[in-house]
């Protein structure tokens, strides 16, 4: 293995120089040779050297003068004096002037190598220490530069940033945070989170993150109100070097304008839907009068045209009703009356109502209820949920099959399942099925009419009742929707 240490041997005796070269090269050292002091100084000026073996008695420039110049110009290079028995006192004086050690001629190889290795190891450690020091200086510079960049970025952000430690103290914030929280006084970190965050729900979220109740990669999004403004707060754990939660990071965004736009959109949808529903209802009633023959007999072709027209009007009315339902859900006004409710009767009535349609399609429709407990719910909304899901199950089972509706008690929840053996839903479509206006595409169900709002309404109603809905599906085998609704507890 090649040794990284380069040794300069300075001696006017060729035998000594060549002897040192053979021994040291055999041990992996790189060796340079000089026959006098002046030549040694020229080599030092041109080539980096780690260790000097220096004879004292030489022509042109002696060892003591070389030592003096080397100590001045290259103070980090260890110098080992080569001396004869008659100059040991001089060698000792040289050590007082800064030489590392001395060895006497003739050399004893073991003692010679021991001294060389000890000096070489000293040089290695010094070089390593210098490297570490340089790296440390560079790292500190990079860290300071990165902190300066980070501070500039954070301070220029339009969103508010708040970093808190495990003691719920703010250790970093930007001017945008103070502006969004409408705090005019100058805040010096660290300061308690409770001093600047008045929203109890947000403080509770930060406590939850610090307690480790959530996963390390989880984040929480919630809306808080500050004066007349609405802010979205997104909070996540701050992870330390040991993968432990060392604090929290919260980003605040002003969504007041978006809320106003959303409200304007809902008002517009409400207005348009109401304005459309009245004339459409009147047109449908008039067409129904004609179809019933109350205005005189109709020819077969006229009756067919009117029937198609009534069907299209019904589809438009269904769309309008769905839009109104969506607007109410987004405004939090869809579920208005909650009473203790046993859902078995609603389920049975809905299944009975759908039985005729299922029979026309060759579908067996079944319903089972087991160990049910009352829930606190709006009967009309719950009926709408079942109606939507069972209708979908029938519509998306074009080849017949089975639609099974079941409900049973599950600890503190009521579990309702609607299972069909229809066309199923592809895995990539599953995350989108609750989006507004999204409809599952399948060659066998192109004739199924709908607005794409039904499942969005279902999810909105379930969420408003503090429940959950999820779906499992296998293409060409069937789909299962599963709803969990909290039951009424003894304390309620």
Note whether residue 147 is domain-resident. no
Q: Could you tell me the two tokens for 101?
A: 């050690």
> 250 and 265 share a domain?
no
What is d(CA 416, CA 343) in angstroms, rounded to the nearest whole number? Answer: 10
What is d(CA 61, CA 73) in angstroms, rounded to the nearest whole number? Answer: 16
Domain final residue, candidates 310, 330, 350: 330
What pLDDT, in 10s, does the model give residues 375-431? 888 888 888 889 889 988 888 887 788 999 999 888 888 999 999 998 888 888 888
Q: What is the pLDDT of residue 2?
A: 47
> 372 and 466 share a domain?
yes
Name the least confident of 66-80, 146-160, 166-180, 366-380: 146-160
> 380 and 316 share a domain?
no
> 249 and 296 share a domain?
no
> 29 and 118 share a domain?
yes
Note whether residue 226 is domain-resident. yes
| Residue 184, pLDDT above cutoff 90 | no
Note whether residue 141 is domain-resident. no
> 16 and 121 share a domain?
yes
Note whether residue 148 is domain-resident. no
Q: For Cα atoms 476, 477, 482, give the angle at the middle one, nearest 5 degrees.
A: 120
- How many domains are contained in the chain? 4
Instruction: Kindly report the CATH number assigned to the domain that includes residue 436.
Output: 3.30.565.10
C-alpha distances (whole Å) from 112 to each of 20, 37, 81, 82 are: 9, 22, 11, 10
Note whether residue 139 is domain-resident. no
| Residue 149, pLDDT above cutoff 90 | no
Q: Domain range for residue 162?
A: 157-254
Note whether residue 137 is domain-resident. no
> 250 and 270 share a domain?
no
Domain final residue, candidates 237, 254, 271: 254
Instruction: Kindly report the CATH number assigned to the domain that includes residue 10.
Output: 3.40.50.2300
> 244 and 228 share a domain?
yes
Instruction: Kindly report the CATH number assigned to the domain that includes residue 215.
Output: 3.30.450.20
> 311 and 241 share a domain?
no
Note whether residue 299 is domain-resident. yes
State pTM to two decimals: 0.48
> 230 and 276 share a domain?
no
Note whether residue 112 is domain-resident. yes
Burial 161-171 (b: 16+ CB within 10 A, else e): bbbbbeebbbe
> 301 and 411 share a domain?
no
More confident call, 332 vs 126: 126
Burial (0-12, 13-18, 19+ Cβ within 10 Å), 103? middle
> 283 and 311 share a domain?
yes
CA distance between the termini of the chain: 81
Domain final residue, candidates 295, 330, 365: 330
What pLDDT, in 10s, does the model give residues 8-40? 999 988 988 899 999 999 888 999 999 999 999
Directed axis angle between helix 109-156 and helix 14-26, to 10°?
A: 60
């Amino acid at each position: 293995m090649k040794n990284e240490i380069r040794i300069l041997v300075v001696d006017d005796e060729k035998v000594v120089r060549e002897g040192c070269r053979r021994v040291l090269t055999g041990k992996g050292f790189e060796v340079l040779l000089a026959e006098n002091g002046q030549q040694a100084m020229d080599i030092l000026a041109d080539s980096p050297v780690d260790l000097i073996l220096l004879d004292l008695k030489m022509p042109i420039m002696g060892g003591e003068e070389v030592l003096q110049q080397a100590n001045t110009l290259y103070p980090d290079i260890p110098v080992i004096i080569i001396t004869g028995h008659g100059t040991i006192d001089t060698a000792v004086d040289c050590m007082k002037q800064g030489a590392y050690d001395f060895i006497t001629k003739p050399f004893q190889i073991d003692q010679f190598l021991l001294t060389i290795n000890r000096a070489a190891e000293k040089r290695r450690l010094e070089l390593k220490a210098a490297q570490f020091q340089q790296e440390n200086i560079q790292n500190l510079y990079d860290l300071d530069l990165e902190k300066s960049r980070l501070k500039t970025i954070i301070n220029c952000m339009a969103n508010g940033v708040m970093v808190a430690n495990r003691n719920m103290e703010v250790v970093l914030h930007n001017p945008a945070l103070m502006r969004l929280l409408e705090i005019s006084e100058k805040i010096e970190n660290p300061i308690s989170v409770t001093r600047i965050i008045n929203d109890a729900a947000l403080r509770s979220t930060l406590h939850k993150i610090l307690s480790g109740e959530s996963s390390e990669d989880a984040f929480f999004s919630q809306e808080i109100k500050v004066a007349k403004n609405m802010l979205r707060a997104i909070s996540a754990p701050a992870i330390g070097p040991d993968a432990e939660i060392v604090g929290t990071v919260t980003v605040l965004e002003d969504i007041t304008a978006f809320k106003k736009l959303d409200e304007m959109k809902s008002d517009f949808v409400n207005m348009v839907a109401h304005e459309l529903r009245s004339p459409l209802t009147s047109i449908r009633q008039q067409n129904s009068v004609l179809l019933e023959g109350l205005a005189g007999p109709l020819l077969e072709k006229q009756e067919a045209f009117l029937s198609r027209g009534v069907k299209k009007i019904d589809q438009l009315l269904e769309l309008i009703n769905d839009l109104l339902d969506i607007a109410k859900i987004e405004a939090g006004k869809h579920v208005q009356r909650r009473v203790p409710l046993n859902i078995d009767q609603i389920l049975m009535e809905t299944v009975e109502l759908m039985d005729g349609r299922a029979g026309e399609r060759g579908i067996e429709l079944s319903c089972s209820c087991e160990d049910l407990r009352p829930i606190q719910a709006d009967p009309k909304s719950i009926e709408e949920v079942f109606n939507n899901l069972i209708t979908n199950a029938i519509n998306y089972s074009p080849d017949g099959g089975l639609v099974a509706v079941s409900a049973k008690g599950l600890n503190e929840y009521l579990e309702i399942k609607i299972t069909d053996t229809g066309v199923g839903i592809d895995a990539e479509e599953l995350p989108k099925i609750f989006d507004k206006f999204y409809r599952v595409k399948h060659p066998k169900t192109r004739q199924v009419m709908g607005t794409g709002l039904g499942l969005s309404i279902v999810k909105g109603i379930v969420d408003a009742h503090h429940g959950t809905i999820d779906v499992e599906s296998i293409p060409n085998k069937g789909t299962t929707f599963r709803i969990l609704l909290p039951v009424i507890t003894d304390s309620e």
